[in-house]
A and B are shown apart, each in its own frame.
Chain A
């Protein structure tokens, strides 16, 4: 393992009310319950991670926050405002941006156009400045600018998905498994970029990961999800040291 991820300093204090508050959320797919009453808080300036096995309901929570599917019970509050029943595009307009599961790059659009789509909330007002920032963050995107999204490698697509989300100038960045299927070196590059954004700009990040070891090192706080329920929570370091977490997610894991 050559790519070493620095452990996060977890002394950051929670200031004020949470930016994102998920309260007793239950989500169903038809009659099948996927989230069985989930509570999660994300405070401004934090990196919070949600770890759990495949099928635990992590991505469902990400999409429930975006109102698709909507929670059948419970509430989702953003900046004190109830967004549980809002349509996805209005939630996005509150400056919540997501790099979703499977990255969902527009395959027949160029990298440039994908980035433009990310900046559509501001009608490209800050596009030129912001796109330069993205090139500093992910220089590979600059080389691929006129290439179609569908022809990029997995790592490049992930960088593009994050950059596209950042182009919206989000108050909350949600990342769904950014490390999935990527080489350790690329994972480190992406996680370092997230850490830098958090440190230098105070960007609030909610990160869903199966790669528990890396995610807990990056995050200030973490939640563990099992079968649609949050079973454990604590600072990144606490969870890293927790014997249950170690047994379930770290021992024999990918680190």
Chain B
């Protein structure tokens, strides 16, 4: 029971990060039907941006409050990562729109390699650490010498994710930008007939996905304390898996999928072998997709023709 609770807390934390990344995959897929394979590396770069600015703020500018530093770093990372993603879309994807279906996909794989190689060369191939921060934790429950605890880091991750998802949900459901986005997702040609600048809306979708990935990148750095140029790949693939598991194109699906992948991974690590956690996560994905090809919250087709 104690182990279960502890792994549940760990799983939700990890799942929050996957969920934040997965939204970027699912939104881009929803609006232009493209799997943005560079998204994982965008996440990794955002983590490096956070690392650099965290060090600048704490060592050079002498910002003493870690909370304040983290907040500033997160905002900077969101802005810069958003800009980067906007540029990538502009340079590598938009010119290929209307080309054959695989073209933007190949371009995205190329961008993924560009980003990870760039970081490898510019930042070096080794793990980059940040000084330990926010180390406190709260003991929730103790029995038979096993303490169930939740760390402040975990609380921060879960709280930030929850608040952001609420803001994001509001943005998509209630604002004119969100409406334009959903309209483009459902019928781009019609959206244009109503005066919506479809290209601009697509750009903004990339920026929003990247901003959420940047939050995930900052939280990832804070949680693990190190980041490496190759850290885009596995979390990226898992977040993509989460998006597919939840039903690609569905925003709640991406979050649910992220949480599930996080939970599967931590429970497997807790009860079975940690070495096989990725095998477990992807096996369950395969099983779910065989029986529910559209994912858990994939849209049911209700439209009349």
Contacts and interface: CB of A to CB of B under 8 A. Distances in A.
B182 A109 contact: yes
Interface in B188-203: 189-198
Contacts of A18: none
Interface stretch (A4-12, A130-138, A147-155, A209-217): A147-155
Contacts of A150: 302-304
A255 interface: no
Interface string A114-141: 0011101101100000000000000000
Interface string A89-123: 10011000110100010111100010011101101
B176 interface: yes
A120 B195 contact: yes
A97 B190 CA distance: 11
Contacts of B179: 109, 113, 116-117, 120
A168 interface: yes
A124 B187 contact: no
A169 to B, nearest CB: 11
A89 B190 contact: no
Interface centre among A68, A117, A124, A148 (most CB of B within 10 A): A117
Interface string B280-305: 00000000000000000001001110
A168 B191 CA distance: 13
A66 interface: yes
B180 interface: yes
Given A68-B189, A104-B189, A89 B196 contact: yes
Contacts, number: 78
B192 A68 contact: yes
Nearest to A109: B182
A109 B198 contact: no
Contacts of B227: none
Nearest to A94: B195
B244 interface: no
A176 B290 CA distance: 42
Nearest to A96: B193
Interface in B158-214: 176, 179-180, 182-183, 186-187, 189-198
Contact of A120 (B187, B196, B198, B304): B196
Given A89-B198, A113-B179, A106 B186 contact: yes
A121 B195 contact: yes
B183 A89 contact: no
B300 to A, nearest CB: 10
A219 B274 CA distance: 75
Interface residues of A, number: 32
A123 B176 contact: yes
Contact of B183 (A109, A152, A168): A109
Contact of B302 (A68, A118, A124, A151): A151
A120 B194 contact: yes
Given A93-B195, A113-B179, A117-B179, A100 B304 contact: no
B303 A120 contact: no
A154 B305 CA distance: 8
Contacts of B304: 150-154, 157
A221 interface: no
B192 A87 contact: yes
Contacts of B198: 89
Contact of B194 (A87, A92, A123, A151): A92
Contacts of A100: 190, 193
B6 to A, nearest CB: 40
A93 B194 CA distance: 8
A106 B302 contact: no
B176 A92 contact: no
A123 B176 CA distance: 8
A106 B187 contact: yes
Contact of A88 (B182, B183, B186, B193): B193
A98 B190 CA distance: 9
Contacts of A118: 194
Interface string A68-97: 100000000000000000011100110001
Contacts of B196: 89, 117, 120
Those 8 A-B pairs whose CB atoms lie nearest each other, nearest first = A150-B303, A92-B195, A88-B192, A104-B190, A107-B303, A106-B186, A121-B195, A89-B192
Interface of B: 176, 179-180, 182-183, 186-187, 189-198, 299, 302-304
7 contacts: A87-B192, A89-B192, A92-B192, A108-B299, A109-B186, A116-B176, A123-B176
